[in-house]
Amino acid sequence: IAEVLGPGVADQPPLPLWVTEYNLFETGEDGLGGTWAQALALAAMTLDLACEPRVELAMVHNLVGNPGFALCEPADDGRLRLSQMGQVIAHLTPLLNRGGSVRRLAGDLPGVEVRQEGKRIVVLINPHEQPHALPAALTAPATATVLSAAALAATVEIQEGTPITALPPLSLVTVTF
């Protein structure tokens, strides 16, 4: 969390934190700005902030039309649509804003467990270019929403009642039990 909040924050007294702007600083000049890789990095930052008990408010920094930060971008017809980062934030925001408890999951993938309204919801990010096996405890029949660059190009993939056994490469997966 120190990387997201900046150096020295961990050493501060336990005061509430408002993170008024966060994002992965990309100008687009290196080819990362506005890409799915940046969207996954933004998702990981969002999950980190959700697990920090001192954070009361966190607002993503976005600029409409700027490829480095845009949550919205112009579609072919000139109207605005959600960018890949926008789709990730649109997916995570309602989940994290409904209340309940959020805890970081142990393991080699960024992830959290959210408990709310009698449901257990696991959010995992696979930042690797290969599929990643799910722990056996997470392969029970559930509803899974898979966001990946390929899925977003068509439609978000939702698997209901069918156990998923692996996270697709470069994906954000939400499993609801």
- CATH assignment at residue 23: 2.60.40.1180
Q: What is the pLDDT of residue 130?
A: 92
CA dist., res. 73 & res. 79, Å (int): 8
Range with lowest mean pLDDT among 44-48, 68-72, 144-148: 68-72
CA dist., res. 39 & res. 171, Å (int): 10
pLDDT, tens digit (0-9, with 9 covering 90-100), for 15-68: 888 888 877 766 556 666 667 888 888 899 899 888 888 888 888 877 655 666
Contact 92, 43 (CB under 8 A): yes
Q: What is the pLDDT of residue 157?
A: 57
Helix, strand, coil % over all residues of the chain, rounded to 5: 25, 30, 40
CA dist., res. 98 & res. 104, Å (int): 17
* pLDDT of 156 over the 60 cut: no
Q: What is the pLDDT of residue 135?
A: 75
Count how many domains the chain has.
1
Domain that holds residue 61: 2-176
Contact 83, 73 (CB under 8 A): yes
